[in-house]
A and B are shown apart, each in its own frame.
Chain A
Amino acid sequence: MMQNGYPLVIPPMVSVFQKQVGFMGEDYAQASPSSGAYEGTAVAVYLPIILPAPCAVRRVWWVNGYTVSGGATVEVGVYADSGYGPGVKLLSGSATQGASVELQFVDVTDFSLPPGLVWIALVASTATNTTFLRSAVSGTALHVRLQQSSAYPLPSTATPAVSTSTNIYLFGFATTASP
């Protein structure tokens, strides 16, 4: 992918909190991410990412909060866009929630994404004693997130619904294999 003859690259850690690909910033967020309970068992949250260039997804990741004793299985995926909503699942990775207050990676089979709009998805098998780092948007998140109930494991095709929460979680994928 070129921009006026020059190659474009994207940051190594892709999330909605990263400039050039994500939307969270002073205009949206109320505070820096902090530990908070997950919003519901098997509720999938879909957030949009705009990729200015192609990239390879090598790992998915999320950030555990203070409480991880629920032993939830956490899954993060990437969905293709389908008319400004998540459509077909392209990839995902999952693992039992590990140590508290820690970035947790899951290796996935390398997957090449074209530039454009994609959706990242997060779901937890249980919300009991399950926390993640998250922020929130003011008033309504109608314009920046979608969600789906009974979506664990992440479905092969999303059936998103209008958001009923303002939580914006810190998760995404990495274009690097390590560290």
Chain B
Amino acid sequence: MSYSRGPGAQHWHSVDTISHGPSIPQNYPSSALTVWPSADLAIYVPVVVRVPCIVRKLWFRTGDTSSGNYDVGLYTASGTALLRKGSTSAPGINTDVIWNCTDTAIPAGLYYLALASAAANDTFLGLPIPAPTPVALGCLVQASSLPLPASATFALDPTLPMFPVVGMVLNSVVT
């Protein structure tokens, strides 16, 4: 007889800031209201990875306005960048943005998914949670961070009014 690992030791195919984020009664994220707070701001959102994974893609979704460059990345709990796409021209509106990054093996632990935008008016899929709740949920920020830095300098911003949805895909199904 053989035994497989139980479901508790696995992840869904996406580890993201919704499935592994806060328990806030927003039901579903909205893209219409989550306006990026300020130009070149990076927002870091904590996620807990329960088992070793191979990160194959990073993703987020644009909202109704998309005009500025963006960057998406993955950081260790201490702020070291594991993946950074680099400053990239604006994608279309209401679009799933999927970066086929270098396959990167990571151990279980605490990580921060990062998103930065050059345009304060751009909107993204996220949770429009009033400030300062996003900070109480573990969101951190860094100003003037487009492109994302190799080493993050995490900061608290009690005025942060949104919780961006960012994720990492653990297999190669999504294209």
Contact = CB atoms under 8 A, between A and B. Distances in A.
B19 to A, nearest CB: 8
Nearest to B10: A4
Interface in A1-50: 3-4, 6-13, 15-20, 22-26, 28-34
B141 to A, nearest CB: 9
A63 B133 contact: yes
A68 to B, nearest CB: 13
Contacts of A61: 136
A interface: dominant SS: loop
B24 A29 contact: yes
B25 A29 contact: yes
A175 B17 CA distance: 19
A33 B133 contact: yes
Contact of B9 (A4, A32, A33): A4
A19 B18 CA distance: 10
B138 interface: yes
Interface residues of B, number: 36
Contact of B48 (A10, A101, A135): A10
Contact of B132 (A20, A31, A101, A135): A101
B interface: dominant SS: loop
Interface in B30-50: 46, 48, 50
B20 A12 contact: no
Interface residues of A, number: 37
Given A15-B136, A102-B132, A32 B25 contact: yes
Contacts of B52: 6
B50 A6 contact: yes
Nearest to B9: A4
A170 interface: yes
B6 A4 contact: yes
A17 B50 contact: no
B23 interface: yes
29 contacts: A3-B9, A4-B5, A4-B8, A6-B51, A11-B46, A11-B48, A11-B110, A12-B138, A13-B46, A13-B137, A17-B136, A17-B137, A18-B23, A19-B20, A19-B21, A19-B23, A23-B23, A29-B24, A32-B24, A32-B26, A32-B129, A32-B133, A33-B133, A61-B136, A63-B133, A102-B158, A103-B158, A135-B25, A179-B140
